[in-house]
Chains A and B, each alone.
Chain A
Amino acid sequence: MRTEIRICGFGGQGIILAGIILGKSACLFDGKEAVQTQSYGPEARGGASKCEVVISDTAVDYPKVQSPDILIAMSNEALIKYIVDLKDDGTLIVDPGTTDVEDVRDYIEEHNIKVFEAPATKTASDEIGLKIVANIVMVGAITKITKVISKEAAIKAIEASVPKGTEEKNIAAFEAGYALIE
């Protein structure tokens, strides 16, 4: 089965690292195939940032996302721009601190979208004391909601991907995100 995931927001939010962790979890630790791609403007920070991951049980030929099964929006601009590509019955995960799902309510209802709110930025600030780990909080929420990667694989991939010395904070961020969803 091929699962297409798109994570989008602003440059600087760690959108791309979140996608790398999903891809790395799947293909180095869960025994699946994965490809991660990205697109961004010429700016280093503040511009739109989009990261895509395709996870599959078999080889991933076409590497880009065409119609995502799962959309994660960490900015309202990105939510409005990319909601229209989300598949019918698809999964939408938003950070309510940076988005407003009411803006896309019509699409959600027409296309039977499953919506989850994961307050990643607030959780990162309040529970970890570091706003910059909001992306890892979101990886925790994605893991719990979608089960597209296993929790064990995610933890190994985070440890292998974040800067040395920050593993503990990042794992705590992941656990906090994982606990956000019942």
Chain B
Amino acid sequence: MVEELFIQGNEACAKGAIAAGCRFFAGYPITPSTEVAETLARELPKVGGSFVQMEDEIASAGAIIGGSWGGTKSMTATSGPGISLMQENIGYAFMSETPIVIVDVQRGSPSTAQPTMAAQGDMMQARWGSHGDYEPIALSPSSVQEFFDFTVKAFNLAEQYRCPVFVMADEVIGHMREKIVIEDDIEIVPRKRPEKTDDYLPFENIENGTTPMPAFGDGFNIHVTGLTHDERGYPDTNDPETHDKLIQRICDKVLNNKDKICSVRSENCEDADIIIVSYGAPVRSAIEAVNKARANNQKVGYVKIDTPWPFPDEQLREIAGNASDVLVVEMNLGQMYYEVDRALKKDANVHLMGVIGGLLPTPDEILEKIEKIGGN
């Protein structure tokens, strides 16, 4: 049955998790993500799932890694201060190829800064927060509907590529209410269990650069470690080739599938002199700014990045490569801006409109910035 609801983004995220098959949540409540935990605490037991309020965030990340190796799709939700605390275990999840979903409803930062205000200050932490080389997948919703849809997608990608997936929301999207439509035929990627054969190896490239993992208790005799390991999972820390092969595979499983993972949307870019690039809540302002500009015969378009990580270089170059100016609008002092600038190389002048303080930039503020760029 198709369901229509008028709910908060955070509630939609929780519903998306349940729809995707999540049956374990461990977390430590933090504004502005708390309603994700609150909703799942109420709803998970009704569908046979479990909710645990942990002692802190690193334990929360540890618990969902354990939940996933127990064979259950698992998630946590937090905000900036919590994502900082989780980083050690996030690295472990990448190294042990554990599918988990981490929701970050971003607030004013650094430190505890602005609990009830919006920001997008954790984008680089999602990319580089833990030490070493790895390639994360991150999705940024711009509506309550997308917070539902992207949470489902995050679980699907986590299963396909056996890795952590971030849903990088922000306070605006987490707390606002809109209508969402929940279809009855949502595409779900179920957890694939390996066949118990004599030659099963838990860390080799069978499909998508990885291979289905067993659950603890399935009777497989394997080893899971954060140390550099061979295809059996056994530590082999001094052999450069083992390390190189492992880390290359962990990175390549995402990089080689960028065409399937990356998603961008754009409008009015074909003839645009100026293209606005944004993700998350600022996309809402960008769309209205473009509508106003077009009504005023200004050639302005927009690109909405659904997947900040892996960064959609090629798609962006295809759409925005011909514009003379590109304006990146984000709620930090410049994070994805550097990626856009790198991707477009010298094709366009890339400008930054970095807004901090907690308020969503308005369409008029964007238009003012566009006027300034046009005047130069």
Residues of A within 8 A of B (CB): 20, 23-24, 27-28, 33-42, 60-64, 66
Say how far B280's CB is from chain A's closest CB, in angstroms.
Answer: 12
Q: B179 to A33, Cβ gap below 8 A?
A: yes
A61, B285: Cα distance in complex, Å: 7
Residues of B within 8 A of A (CB): 4-6, 31, 115-116, 172, 175-179, 281, 284-285, 287-288, 291, 360, 362-364
User: Provided the pairs A42-B116, A62-B284 are in contact, do residues A28 and B179 lie with their beta carbons within 8 angstroms?
Assistant: yes
Say how far A174's CB is from chain B's closest CB, in angstroms.
Answer: 18
- Chain B residues with CB under 8 Å of A20's CB are 6, 177
- Chain B residues with CB under 8 Å of A39's CB are 116
Main secondary structure, interface of A, reads mixed
Q: A34 to B6, Cβ gap below 8 A?
A: yes
- Chain A residues with CB under 8 Å of B4's CB are 28
Q: B285 to A23, Cβ gap below 8 A?
A: no
A62, B363: Cα distance in complex, Å: 7
Q: Which of B4, B176, B281 has the most CB of A within 10 A?
A: B176
Say how far A149's CB is from chain B's closest CB, in angstroms.
Answer: 12
Q: A34 to B363, Cβ gap below 8 A?
A: no
Q: B175 to A28, Cβ gap below 8 A?
A: no
Q: B115 to A36, Cβ gap below 8 A?
A: no
- Chain B residues with CB under 8 Å of A64's CB are 360, 362
A38, B281: Cα distance in complex, Å: 15
Q: B177 to A61, Cβ gap below 8 A?
A: no
- Chain B residues with CB under 8 Å of A42's CB are 31, 115-116
- Chain A residues with CB under 8 Å of B362's CB are 62, 64, 66
Partner of A63, one of B6, B115, B284, B364: B284
User: Provided the pairs A34-B178, A35-B178, A41-B116 are in contact, do residues A24 and B6 lie with their beta carbons within 8 angstroms?
Assistant: yes
A62 — nearest CB in chain B belongs to which residue?
A: B288
A144, B281: Cα distance in complex, Å: 33
Closest 9 CB pairs of A and B: A61-B288, A36-B177, A24-B6, A62-B288, A61-B287, A27-B179, A37-B176, A61-B284, A35-B178
A42, B177: Cα distance in complex, Å: 20
Q: B176 to A62, Cβ gap below 8 A?
A: no
Q: B116 to A35, Cβ gap below 8 A?
A: no
Excluding A41-B116, A61-B363, 17 further A-B contacts by CB distance (< 8 Å) are A20-B6, A23-B6, A23-B177, A27-B6, A28-B5, A28-B6, A34-B178, A35-B178, A36-B177, A38-B175, A62-B287, A62-B288, A62-B363, A63-B172, A63-B281, A64-B360, A66-B362
Sampled A-B contacts (11; CB under 8 Å): A23-B177, A35-B176, A35-B178, A36-B176, A37-B175, A38-B175, A61-B291, A62-B285, A63-B178, A63-B284, A66-B362
Say how far A11's CB is from chain B's closest CB, in angstroms.
Answer: 12
A24, B4: Cα distance in complex, Å: 11
A33, B363: Cα distance in complex, Å: 19
A19 — nearest CB in chain B belongs to which residue?
A: B177
Say how far A98's CB is from chain B's closest CB, in angstroms.
Answer: 24
B281 — nearest CB in chain A belongs to which residue?
A: A63
A33 — nearest CB in chain B belongs to which residue?
A: B179
B360 — nearest CB in chain A belongs to which residue?
A: A64
- Chain B residues with CB under 8 Å of A23's CB are 6, 177
A142, B245: Cα distance in complex, Å: 66
- Chain A residues with CB under 8 Å of B179's CB are 27-28, 33-34
B282 — nearest CB in chain A belongs to which residue?
A: A62
- Chain A residues with CB under 8 Å of B176's CB are 35-37, 63
Say how far A104's CB is from chain B's closest CB, in angstroms.
Answer: 24
Say how far A156's CB is from chain B's closest CB, in angstroms.
Answer: 11
A161 — nearest CB in chain B belongs to which residue?
A: B6
A60 — nearest CB in chain B belongs to which residue?
A: B178
B6 — nearest CB in chain A belongs to which residue?
A: A24
A148, B288: Cα distance in complex, Å: 22
- Chain B residues with CB under 8 Å of A66's CB are 362, 364
- Chain A residues with CB under 8 Å of B281's CB are 63
- Chain A residues with CB under 8 Å of B288's CB are 61-62
